Chain A
């Protein structure tokens, strides 16, 4: 009884081991390589339950997803001798696990080797570009150039490079300092320009105001002269009209007025007794 039970359990467990050694699953995110004593036998790209010969075959799994490769940023010189630190990253996919296994076998080894190729590609492309290319509209072109260069090396690793992008692009520390200095002096120049323009506006506005004042006063002066002239003309005309009626009488009339006004108090006069005033002085009419 006990022996039968033991045998049954042993058989069950043995069967279980064989089953475990035979069946294996490939996850949706994976692809697999079946190896027989290290020699690749089959490539499995379909996820799900698969079988192999137990004990003598084993399975190597590879990611089937888009993978990231993000090597450290590197200092390099642009064509205009400017030093920058460029951080680039690639997104790739293992499309041929067999090739991948044969060339690098592990992810770590791949990162080392392909990371160098990527950095080399970035260096080559940026060595022919200047900062404006890296920054501005040329950026996409530079990235495409790197992608093309890196793609050429992809088949030997069994991968497909989806895209290479430039991430951080930084000026190196001393260039950064120089840039800060330039930014500062640019701003200072701008500030001086604003102040200068302020002074200019001030002077112009004040000068315009002064001119306006001068013109206003002069205009008023002119107006005043015209008015006074008009008054004088009218005045003379009125008088002429009145006095022109009898010039002789006017002369007499005006002379009398003038005498009254001109000969004031204490005037000393030397007169002859023959003058008109003394007409009756020593004789009667």
Chain B
């Protein structure tokens, strides 16, 4: 491996990435030393993942060989190969002589003229230490908090801006995104156009032992960077598991109908509170901002039956409306009919009264004439009536004295026939 250009070595920011010779030697050796020392580690440290661009001795992973890295690249190589029973000694131990010789070669090439070997070495060491020291500058972005660690122990928290802290391996800086809102979806993945359901997450038992299909979204944020980083392993994964548990617990207390309709908001609220309580119980340093129920339906296997209920409701409304329409049709008609009857009767009454009054006044008129001259009036009236009646009648006159001894014969059928032929319209009499 050729040495990195000098200007790159001087850039503190990326210095670690280019493995200046000594750093490479030291880190490969320390890596092996670490392998030897740590026979059993509980688990890799995720919190470290928040630290970027830093080489930590603890988590340093050998990616490629350093200039002399042949012997130290893999997991097996360690300088004390034989002494460590746990770690297999695959590679031969490092040849220090060889290592130093080739190191000097390269140093000479790096610093070509005029320098004495020893002075050159000191100078290089000084430069490297200066670069290492400068690599302690770090920047905290606006949405981050800097958590400074000294030998792995929490030291202090810094706000956004440029700061200095001991560089690795003495110090370390973790930069969690504290203002970022994180979102977890349960029951489904993806967003609107391409949503895929995850039934094993979303199917849950409601209080009435029916199965509900509930999709929800949890939004959370880091409340306390220290708690978040140091109190709980996989706090993020725990939010999801605990959210599922909380929602299931709350849904399990409510009947399906309530979950689907009116209790939805309340269930989301209760679940949020319960989830917050659970996370606080773990000291996870997380605030649950929101728990929103996206969908609360019956499972797709039975949704047709639920739709049938909706249709039945519609039918119920339709039947009622039909009946109301019928009712609204016939009642006004009947009212009209009733009004017609009453009006007709009123007219009839008025007619009767008017007629009576007419007759009464006619009679009164006759009576006045009669009172003035009774005899004459009677006689005139009689004769007038008789004249009219007899004038249109057939009259058969019989003198009882005329045919004594002879039986008079009246041909009734003959008369009958004649009457029928030329029957006049008989007027109905009043009274």
Contacts and interface: CB of A to CB of B under 8 A. Distances in A.
Contact of A24 (B37, B96, B353, B371): B37
A165 B41 CA distance: 28
Interface in B166-223: 169, 200-201, 203-207, 209-211
B1 interface: no
A157 B149 CA distance: 30
Contacts of A198: 312, 315-320
Contacts of A180: 211, 299, 301-302
Interface stretch (A112-120, A121-129, A148-156, A188-196): A188-196
B214 to A, nearest CB: 12
B126 interface: no
B123 interface: no
Contacts of A131: 205, 209
Interface string B286-321: 000000000000110110111011011101111110
B102 interface: no
B428 interface: yes
A60 B153 contact: no
Contacts of A264: 392, 424-427
Nearest to B210: A183
Nearest to A61: B41
Nearest to A46: B153
Contact of B242 (A6, A135, A165, A186): A165
Contacts of A265: 392-393, 422-426
A103 interface: no
A46 B16 CA distance: 29
Interface in B253-280: 253, 278
A229 B159 CA distance: 104
Contacts of A202: 319-320, 322-323
Given A68-B237, A252-B378, A264-B427, A269 B390 contact: yes
Contact of A267 (B58, B298, B392): B392
A174 B357 CA distance: 95
Contacts of B394: 266-269
Given A198-B319, A212-B334, A263-B393, A27 B299 contact: no
B30 interface: yes
Given A191-B309, A258-B429, A137 B385 contact: no
Contact of A224 (B344, B361, B390, B425): B344
Question: Chain A interface: which size bin?
Answer: 35 or more
B315 A195 contact: yes
Interface string A248-285: 01101110111111111111111111101110000000
Contact of B397 (A16, A137, A210, A273): A273
A201 B385 contact: no
A143 to B, nearest CB: 9
A232 B348 CA distance: 9
Nearest to A131: B209
A9 B104 CA distance: 11
Given A183-B298, A272-B398, A194 B330 contact: no
Interface string A195-232: 10111011111101110110011011101111110111
B83 to A, nearest CB: 8
B121 interface: yes
Contacts of B237: 68
Contacts of B418: 266
A13 interface: yes
B323 A206 contact: yes
B282 interface: yes
A92 B233 CA distance: 10
A15 interface: no
Nearest to B234: A68
B360 A242 contact: yes
A162 B277 CA distance: 13
Given A208-B327, A227-B349, A63 B37 contact: no
Nearest to A231: B349
Contacts of A79: none
Interface in A1-52: 1-2, 5-6, 9-10, 13, 16-17, 20-21, 24-30, 35, 46-49
Contact of B363 (A210, A243, A259, A273): A243
B364 interface: yes
Contact of B253 (A47, A137, A254, A256): A137
A267 B393 CA distance: 5
Interface string B389-431: 1101111111110000000001000010011001111111111
17 contacts: A20-B30, A29-B230, A47-B153, A58-B38, A60-B38, A65-B232, A91-B238, A107-B42, A168-B204, A213-B333, A216-B331, A216-B334, A224-B341, A232-B349, A256-B382, A266-B419, A277-B383
Considering the complex of A and B, which 3 residue pairs feature the smallest CB-CB distances, nearest first? A265-B424, A231-B349, A224-B345
